[in-house]
Structures are given as C-alpha cells and as structure tokens.
Structure 1
Amino acid sequence: KTGHPVMSTIHSNDVANVLPRIMDLVPPDQQHRKLTETISTAHAFIAQRLVETPEGKLIGVREHLFFSKSIRNDLLDLAIQAGGYGLVIQYIRKMMNDNPQGTENSSPNFENQAKDLLNKGLISKKGFDALIA
C-alpha cells in the first residue's frame, strides 16, 4: 500500500484464470478486499505458453489483458455487487473469448491464436494441440 510498482508472476493456464489463482491464495474472509485491491492496482494480466514450431523449436505465445481505465471501472463496478467475484471472472472470460481478433486492450485468446499460427505454418500440430488443451 506504499505505491511502489511491483511485478509478479503466477502460474496460470490463461488470462481468464489469473485472478482465480490469486484469490486461491487469499483466506475467504479477505477475498473481497483483495479482489478490489488487485483490480485497482493491476496494469495487465499476461499469460504465456511455449509451443513447438514445425522445426521443433519453441516459440512464446501470449495472451494479455491491459487494465484500461474503462475496464478497471467495469471490473470494480462488478466486484462491489453481490456475487461480484463471479461477475468479474465472467467479464474477463467474455472479453477474452468473444473477440477473436483481440481488442485495443486484449489479445486473441490462445485458441484463436493457435488456429492462426497453425494456418500460417508457424506452429506444429503438437504446438496447436498444446495451445487449445
């Protein structure tokens, strides 16, 4: 709460599961406070997977969600409602899944990127399967 910027990592399969992973680390009686605190201070959620190319090398594929002012406000509005945690998770999932080309603040999800990368010959079938798993 001193205002110092902190970068952190957490293991998550995708952007939509970052917040649930964080909340799993917090006692239930503190989750609402931590939810609003995380939303208020986060700048971005980024998930990365290493996948195989046709040549057998690995490349990084990333999903991201940048917390613009409007996204942060939407999430905070949802967080303060009854059942807010579930509403916040639904909002993030919808944003990541309903925009196949991505938006100004979010990338395409791993599944959409996998299809595009496979079609362009940039990843192998094995890499594709790993991204959509």
Structure 2
Amino acid sequence: MAVNVKAPIIISQIVAEGMIKRKTGGSIVNVSSKLSLRGRQNRLLYSASKAALDSVTRTMSLELGPHNIRVNAVNPTVAKTDMSKAVWDNPVKTKMVTSVIPLGRFAEVSEVVSVILFLLSDFSSMVSGSCIPIDGGCVANLMT
C-alpha cells in the first residue's frame, strides 16, 4: 500500500500544490493496473492497492478540478519491460494470460506511454477522473 497508494498521494499533493501556487492548472496521471478493475487469484493486496489508487484518482479529480488540474489513471495489462521479462519469460504462463486478452498479446511500453502522453496533453483537456484500461480488451472480456 505504501508504494501503490501512499506514494502517489504524496507526490500528487506536492505536484498539485505547485500547480495551484502558479495558477497554471495541469494534469496528473497515475499508473494503476487492469487488476484494479478485475480481480485475480493470488493477487489480493496488489489488486486492492491498485483499486485504491483508482479511487484516489477519481477523488483527487474532484478536489483538484476547481484548480483546473485534471487527474486520471492508466490501467495497463502486462507491458514488455525488462522487469516483466523475468516473470513472463515462461511461454506457458504467458499463454495463460494472453489467451484472455482479445488482442492476444501483452502491451508494448510505447502503447502505455502514448496514452499517458495523451492524458498529459491539451488534447485531453476535458478528461478527468478517468481510469483507462490499456489491456487489449481484457477487462471487457467477461470470460476472464
């Protein structure tokens, strides 16, 4: 909980304080997980902490909106990073997860970054309080 909930709260408060002082408005994007939207066996604390982060995101959007500060979250599936390779290098384990993703694969880091950049940009100036899955349709798949 300290890393997935408390740290983003503290960092967001510091960033928001600066935005409020400068009267610039701005955008904060939290990195959550698709597991916040859909539980998974043996992932209780992780799923709960990311669901809490989604709630923090929505609540902060209400509190900071009057200061023209937007707050959103992205909820990616596994992204292909050096860290994830250690866990997902096993083809059998990978197939078990990718088989319930309609697009049939994990996310590329660039696909997650693209959504974050969009949320930080003026192109999303009316988007706030949203938690956006980047999961190839996994959350929409009722069979998972």
Normalised by the length of structure 1, the TM-score is 0.30
Normalised by the length of structure 2, the TM-score is 0.29
Q: Which has the higher contact order (CA 8 A, sep 6+)?
A: 2
